[in-house]
Structure 1
């Protein structure tokens, strides 16, 4: 087994770089790409990885992953078949204005075995995403029994009393009223739009650590980009097994 990948225990997929939000805090920038992961190749990759590793958790996110809910469904269903315990989704909850489609997607997620949904709501998302639609999605998820919690982005820290955090706390209170608690969320780090629009908050060029960076010599998470890139390869060109076995840190 490759010494750099022997500790793999998690899989992540960026389903698409497209997004329904235009968030000024986004570390990914403007989300101009329309790429999305190939469903069949992603499902095959889940099975192949699980043949060789004990995977504890799988996550799908984006962009806005529920722009392609069928892809999320197939990936999470594959994870369920492979016995992966935690099947997580991060979504802003805004992928359709049609109530019947929102209900359909909520039921799909439950059927796929998704058991943790983190809902990105805060002052930044709600500048461009209608809260009432997101609330409708949250209520439909509650009906299915799938665990859902708000997952806010904080500027500086949750305890900092800046105007953005104040607004975020008001938004979170609306979800608390219907029985949805919040996760710890994440601290915005200086990258992409966040650096562009909120650079003055990162004083003395002190950047908050990017929590998504992986130790290149001890890979624990296999992270797929929307274009199929993973580690130093691409699943459109080679199997994930070959990519993992040939991986060397650069």
Structure 2
């Protein structure tokens, strides 16, 4: 049985659609996603469960939550109604148009109990969002009395060395700062190598034989992370640092059927070797001789199940995570 007994601190994903398709995004967010957004009923159910499981505060993320500010406010109201505080809302600043419209939205979120925005500051976002928008949103927050959690200030000088009125590719950064610039972002940013981020930085990882990966396999403990889990708009529990896996939160807290969630259970109980054996014996997966580690093998299997076989498995949701990587 798959079960968690408590939840401490995590995030709520209101939507996966984003104005950017950042190369470091572990959730594979992009403009290609549907405009689906968390509704009031779902939000109320999620915050009720969170409070009952001992989680009294969360952050809000996406996608870009501010793509639909009127729906975001309803999510914030649901959090307040259920006694769950919102520590901050993550944003890439793409929605900044002018100061008046932005100030109005900022005052609205303040009225709903939110006093901090986490604003992305990095070369990945700058490929899609000109730096003037980031600077302008920070200024508007200051004027509205909304705190700013800058993520990450280390990159401010890098972005500020270019024309702020336009976007700039990572190749431009590489041209200005040297050929190792992109590779060094892995360590400078502290990237979670999942989703599109894994695809971007996969070349930096060492190749391992399939047999070595299988022989060193250990249970993954995907459900053990109670401090940085996420719950999304489809009421999926997303394990800590492992987007692309899912289990319905109401089933997880009661005890989910391991037969229904065979992929998750195989990893939870036996690690990537268990998943591989399941994929080979049940679905006809043919392993390669080498992979870039256990996560590469795991992701290759999951992509095979979702994209090649087009299986609609409850523990590999949402499908867009694999479609838009």
Give yes or no for TM over 0.5: yes
CA 1:88 to 1:214, structure 2 compared with 1: closer, same or farther past 3 Å? farther
The equivalent of 1:197 in structure 2 is 200
Aligned residue for 2:14, secondary structure, equals strand
The alpha carbon displacement at 1:144 in A equals: 2.6
Q: Bigger radius of gyration, 1 or 2?
A: 2
What is the CA deviation profile of residues 22-81 of structure 1, one whole-angstrom value per residue up to 9, with x for unaligned ones?
Answer: 322222336221243332123322442255233232111111111122232222233234
The reply to whether residue 87 of structure 1 matches residue 74 of structure 2 is: no
Higher RCO structure (Cα 8 Å, ≥6 apart): 1
> CA separation in 2, counterparts of 1:89 and 1:214?
28
> Does the 8 A contact of 1:79 with 1:87 survive in 2?
no
Runs of 4+ in 1 over 4 A off after TM superposition: 171-174, 217-222, 231-234, 240-243
In structure 2, the gaps of 5 or more residues are 162-187, 209-219, 239-245, 258-263, 266-325
1:14 aligns to 2:13 (yes or no):
yes
CA distance in 2, matches of 1:112, 1:247: 34
Say if 1:53 and 1:142 are closer, same or farther in 2 by CA, change over 3 A: same
Change (3 A) 1:245 1:219: farther
Using the TM superposition, give the Cα deviation of residue 3 of structure 1 relative to its aligned residue in structure 2, in angstroms.
Answer: 9.2
Distance 1:229 1:203, change over 3 A: closer
Higher helix content, 1 or 2: 2
Displacement of 1:91 after TM fit?
Answer: 0.8
Secondary structure in structure 2 of the residue aligned to 1:124: helix
Q: What is the alpha-carbon distance in structure 1 between the residues aligned to residue 45 and residue 25 of structure 2?
A: 28
Please state whether the residue corresponding to 1:73 is helix, strand or coil.
Answer: helix
Look up the match of 2:25.
Answer: 26
Asked if the contact 2:47–2:84 (Cα under 8 Å) also holds between the matched residues in 1, the reply is no
TM-score by length of 1: 0.69
SS at match of 1:16: coil
Distance in structure 2 (CA, Å) of the matches to 1:188 and 1:50: 27
Question: More displaced, 123-132 or 109-118?
Answer: 109-118
Alignment of 1:1-250 (within 5 A): 4-29=3-28, 31=30, 32-49=32-49, 52-152=52-152, 168-171=155-158, 186-200=189-203, 202-204=204-206, 215-217=222-224, 219=226, 223-230=230-237, 233-234=247-248, 241=250, 244-247=253-256, 250=265
Aligned with 1:132: secondary structure?
Answer: helix
Structure 1: tracts of 5 or more residues without a match? 159-167, 175-184, 207-212, 235-239
Give the aligned length: 214
Which 10-residue stretch deviates more, 100-109 or 80-89?
Answer: 80-89
Q: What TM-score results when the alignment is normalised by the length of structure 2?
A: 0.55
Matched position secondary structure for 1:129:
coil
SS of structure 2 residue aligned to 1:150: strand
What secondary structure sits across from 2:132 in the alignment? helix
Distance (Å, rounded) in 1 between the aligned partners of 2:221 and 2:87? 20
Q: 1:224, CA displacement in angstroms?
A: 2.2
